[in-house]
Amino acid sequence: MSVGRREISDEVRREDPELASLIEAEEIRQRTTLQLIASENFASRAVMDASGTVLTNKYSEGYPGKRYYGGNGVIDQVEQLAIDRLKLLFGAEHANVQPHSGANANAAVYFALLNPGDTVVAMRLDQGGHLTHGSPVNFSGKLYRFAGYGVTPRGDGGERLDLDALARLAQQERPKLIVVGATAYPRTIEIDPIRSIADEVGALVLFDAAHVAGLIAGGQYPNPLFMRDGRRGADVVTFTTHKTLRGPRGGAIVCHEDLAAKIDKALFPGFQGGPIENTIAAKAVAFREALQPSFAEYQRNVVLNAQRLAGALSSHGFRLVSGGTDTHLLLVDLQGFDPDLSGKEAQEVLDRAGITCNRNQIPEDPRSPFVTSGLRFGTPAVTTTGMGPSEMDAIGELIARTLLKRSDASEVERIRAQVAELTASFPPPADR
Ligand code: DSN
């Protein structure tokens, strides 16, 4: 096996062999094991190259045409290119490409639209929400008064966003902001009923599209900025650029024009300092990639693969939360498969077998968030490598066999070798 083929420059090898060997080890891990974490992907070589450029040397606090430092003529054009492409991608009136992460994007929106102590409603973390949606250990839960909604009870057609409960909660709490979007919810969330609920109580709507931004860009998920009839949907949409969108690690915000100045000011100077322009350049590359017809095809395959993997896993006796998926991710309830098997133990043995995923709480989980009774899988990365339906069937079988034979170390080793054989035919794009 050739090592770190195009990953490490000769300069890094020469200047810092200790670090170079760590980067090589990670490159080998990514290439020889299955990447099934729903929030991960393989960025293209062009995205990674743009990120490793001289743009890292420049300070550019402010926005294009309004910087606090000289020498930003070129940087302005780089950032404007990213902004223009992102606006096109979402049909948005305004875009901000400076958030260093999805959490920072959410923070900027809260700072723009709320005062400390204001009431917000959002999906609870144990129902699929995110830390920045009001977790008590996160700044969001400390600064604002969050009330949580969840999913409907288990059963046929259950474990779906509980719109009636959300409407009741909104009436009761009269929030200033309703946050929608999740990190472990496999179904589509339509913005139309949320907009009606928000309008009834005079709330603004933030859609956190971190997980589904790529699906939206590829036409596989409704664009939450607009309702089906084209009227205004969410007021603001935040997302990360490195998940389904397949860009560099970072965040972004799109919104309607009336909120543009508030959002920009809240992010800089309100929350962040200098933007990371080399990452913004890589975002521009990713947005251009996402505008190509082949990206829609890729996102279609991401969803088809997730549905195929869900089918394979249920044929091996696993229960899928909500019965399946409309998106790139699936949430597996391990309790029916083996009541003694926790998410933590399952994640650890799958790791030993070269199958990388993460444990996750499921709705009504009797176990703690650290232990859990569920596993979350996603297909963005394996789809980027070109895997399709037959590989999803094979992966479902490998997962089931690993968990069944988890006490048999030599069987787990054999599975790891099979995983290496499978992944050898589907290298990440930057490795081809
Ligand atoms: N959004 C989380 C995930 O889904 O993995 C990370 O914050």
Residue 207 has pLDDT above 60, yes or no: yes
Distance separating alpha carbons of residues 239 and 257, to the nearest angstrom: 18
Mutate to test the pocket of ligand 1, among 35, 101, 104, 130 (most ligand atoms within 8 A of CB): 130
In ligand 1, the atom with minimum distance to the C-alpha of 37 is: 5
**Cα(1) to centroid of ligand 1, in Å?**
32
Q: CA nearest 193: which of 217, 239, 161, 220? A: 161
Q: Whose CA is nearest to atom 3 of ligand 1?
A: 39
Domains and CATH numbers, the chain: 51-290 (3.40.640.10), 301-431 (3.90.1150.10)
* Model pLDDT for residues 311-346, shown as the tens digit of each residue: 999 999 999 999 999 999 999 999 999 999 999 999
* Mean pLDDT along residues 38-59: 97
Could you tell me which residues come within 8 angstroms of residue 368 by beta carbon, excluding any fewer than 6 positions away? Answer: none
Q: Report pLDDT for 431.
A: 65
Residues with CB under 6 A from ligand 1: 39, 130, 183, 210
Is the separation of the CB atoms in 382 and 357 below 8 Å? no
* Model pLDDT for residues 271-311, shown as the tens digit of each residue: 999 999 999 999 999 999 999 999 999 999 999 999 999 99
The DSSP bridge partners found for residue 94 are 255
Per-residue confidence at 2, pLDDT binned at 50, 70, 90? very low
**Cα(410) to centroid of ligand 1, in Å?**
33
**Cα(236) to centroid of ligand 1, in Å?**
19
> What is the share, in percent, of the chain residues with pLDDT greater than 90?
95
Q: Report pLDDT for 8.
A: 74
Q: Report pLDDT for 6.
A: 56
Q: How far is CA 292 from CA 41, 192, 219, in A?
A: 18, 28, 12
* Model pLDDT for residues 240-273, shown as the tens digit of each residue: 999 999 999 999 999 999 999 999 999 999 999 9
Q: Report pLDDT for 429.
A: 87
* Mean pLDDT along residues 169-197: 98
Residue 130 has pLDDT above 60, yes or no: yes
In ligand 1, the atom with minimum distance to the C-alpha of 130 is: 1
Distance separating alpha carbons of residues 32 and 425, to the nearest angstrom: 10
Q: CA nearest 250: which of 213, 293, 225, 203? A: 213
Distance separating alpha carbons of residues 66 and 104, to the nearest angstrom: 21
**Cα(408) to centroid of ligand 1, in Å?**
32
Q: What is the 3-state secondary structure (H, E, C) of the chain?
A: CCCCCCCCCHHHHHHCHHHHHHHHHHHHHHHHCEECCCCCCCCCHHHHHHHCCHHHHCCCCEECCEECCCCCHHHHHHHHHHHHHHHHHHCCCEEECCCCCHHHHHHHHHHHHCCCCCEEEEECHHHCCCHHHCCCCCHHHHHCEEEEECECCCCCCCCCECHHHHHHHHHHHCCCEEEECCCCCCCCCCHHHHHHHHHHHCCEEEEECCCCHHHHHCCCCCCCCECCCCCECCCEEEEECCCCCCCCCCEEEEECHHHHHHHHHHHCCCCCCCCCHHHHHHHHHHHHHHCCHHHHHHHHHHHHHHHHHHHHHHHCCCEEHHHCCCCCEEEEECCCCCCCCCHHHHHHHHHHCCEECEEECCCCCCCCCCCCCEEEEECHHHHHCCCCHHHHHHHHHHHHHHHHCCCCHHHHHHHHHHHHHHHHCCCCHHHC
Predicted structure pTM score: 0.96
Per-residue confidence at 430, pLDDT binned at 50, 70, 90? confident
